């Protein structure tokens, strides 16, 4: 009988442990991953190292193991991976299957990656995105330098479009600007491409009043690219000498923002509430857009004044005749 006194709590403990263990495992691999990707288990063979802060280095010959820290820039976030545009991919769709071996060979580490255009170029399915034109713009941009590629701004393991069809423009602006600031505001990434010893992006914009409010309301590319009406996101970053500095480029009736930031809002939206809501109601950037109601009001006032003049003239003529 005595054994039950230990057996029953023991069983509970064991069940609890199983549940906990399952939970820990379940936490890592959320059910929706399997809905978007048929190779979740295969990807785990990479993510057991690249999805963790540490990994186990094994020496099969002598049966030894050591635990090591994973380089933080080589750690991938599973949630981000399985919600990006390439969420259905196996790691080895883009990377050589030789990465399955560890230590990875020098050869495989030097391997050249596919570019966006290799998969997306001249493909009707993706015609909406105008990959070919973006490719040309990038080639002509200031960033076309050794080692730089589309991937430096488009995280291969997380990218998804934010601007396209967004309901929350402020958030989309933040996400867009964070792409630029990830380098221009983060020396660890910036120094890979330049010998400059410091970042001075804040000082370079000191001429702009209320820098913070501006960076929250406009994208970096508003001032740093050529307006291009045929693609949604202009990609031709110009040298700083060609950046927009004139306030009236935006603070005016035909603001360049109408051709960049707000161009993808439907015309209906722009005329009715959206633009006027952003530009006129909660700021004093008046004149960045025409307010349809103000316009009508001024036409009405003008028409009224005109009628009064006509009426007055007629009265005078009648008076003169008499």
CA distance linking residue 316 with residue 313, whole number of Å = 5
| Rounded (10°) CA dihedral 3, 7, 10, 11 | 170
CA distance linking residue 313 with residue 307, whole number of Å = 10
Nearer to ligand HEC, 204 or 298 (CB): 204
Question: Which position has the token pair 């990609």?
Answer: 235
Nearer to ligand HEC, 102 or 306 (CB): 102
Nearer to ligand HEC, 171 or 313 (CB): 171
* Contact indicator for 77, 70 with CB cutoff of 8 Å: no
CA distance linking residue 150 with residue 131, whole number of Å = 11
Cα→Cα distances 113→95, 109, 158, 171, 191, Å:
7, 10, 16, 31, 21
CA distance linking residue 254 with residue 214, whole number of Å = 18
Minimal distance, residue 225 CB to ligand HEC, in Å = 7
Nearer to ligand HEC, 213 or 294 (CB): 213
Nearer to ligand HEC, 31 or 239 (CB): 239
Minimal distance, residue 61 CB to ligand HEC, in Å = 16
Nearer to ligand HEC, 129 or 274 (CB): 129
Please count the CA atoms within 13 angstroms of the CA of 189 that sit on its side-chain side: 15
Minimal distance, residue 296 CB to ligand HEC, in Å = 24
* Contact indicator for 272, 292 with CB cutoff of 8 Å: yes
* Contact indicator for 215, 178 with CB cutoff of 8 Å: no
Minimal distance, residue 36 CB to ligand HEC, in Å = 8
Minimal distance, residue 265 CB to ligand HEC, in Å = 14
Minimal distance, residue 239 CB to ligand HEC, in Å = 4
Minimal distance, residue 149 CB to ligand HEC, in Å = 6
* Contact indicator for 177, 185 with CB cutoff of 8 Å: no
Lookup: tokens for 297: 């009001």
* Contact indicator for 261, 219 with CB cutoff of 8 Å: yes
Nearer to ligand HEC, 182 or 292 (CB): 182
Minimal distance, residue 270 CB to ligand HEC, in Å = 14
CA distance linking residue 222 with residue 263, whole number of Å = 12
Nearer to ligand HEC, 104 or 271 (CB): 104
Lookup: tokens for 72: 């933080």
Lookup: tokens for 319: 């008076």
| Rounded (10°) CA dihedral 171, 172, 175, 178 | -100
Minimal distance, residue 65 CB to ligand HEC, in Å = 10
Nearer to ligand HEC, 10 or 165 (CB): 165
């Amino acid at each position: 009988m005595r054994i039950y006194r230990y057996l029953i709590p023991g069983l509970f403990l064991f069940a609890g442990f199983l549940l906990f263990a399952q939970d820990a495992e379940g936490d890592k691999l959320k059910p929706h991953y399997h809905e978007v990707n048929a190779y979740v288990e295969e990807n785990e063979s990479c993510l057991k190292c690249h999805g963790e802060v540490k990994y186990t280095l094994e020496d099969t010959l002598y049966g030894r193991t050591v635990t090591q820290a994973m380089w933080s820039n080589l750690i991938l976030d599973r949630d981000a991976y399985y919600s990006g545009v390439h969420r259905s991919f196996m790691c080895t769709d883009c990377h050589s299957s030789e990465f399955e071996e560890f230590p990875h060979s020098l050869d495989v580490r030097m391997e050249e990656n596919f570019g966006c255009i290799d998969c997306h170029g001249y493909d009707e399915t993706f015609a909406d995105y105008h990959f070919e034109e973006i490719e040309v713009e990038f080639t002509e941009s200031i960033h076309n330098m050794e080692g730089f590629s589309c991937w430096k701004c488009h995280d291969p393991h997380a990218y998804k479009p934010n601007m396209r069809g967004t309901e929350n423009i402020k958030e989309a602006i933040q996400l867009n600007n964070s792409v630029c600031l990830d380098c221009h505001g983060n020396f660890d990434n910036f120094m890979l491409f330049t010998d400059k010893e410091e970042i001075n992006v804040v000082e370079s914009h000191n001429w702009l009043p209320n820098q913070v409010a501006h960076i929250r309301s406009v994208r970096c590319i508003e001032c740093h690219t050529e307006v291009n009406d045929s693609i949604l996101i202009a990609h031709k970053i110009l040298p700083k000498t060609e950046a927009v500095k004139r306030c009236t480029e935006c603070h005016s009736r035909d603001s360049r923002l109408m051709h960049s930031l707000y161009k993808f809002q439907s015309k209906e939206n722009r005329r009715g509430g959206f633009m006027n809501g952003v530009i006129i109601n909660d700021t004093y950037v008046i004149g960045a857009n025409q307010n349809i109601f103000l316009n009508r009001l001024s036409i009405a006032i003008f028409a009224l004044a005109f009628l009064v003049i006509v009426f007055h003239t007629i009265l005078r003529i009648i008076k003169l005749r008499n």
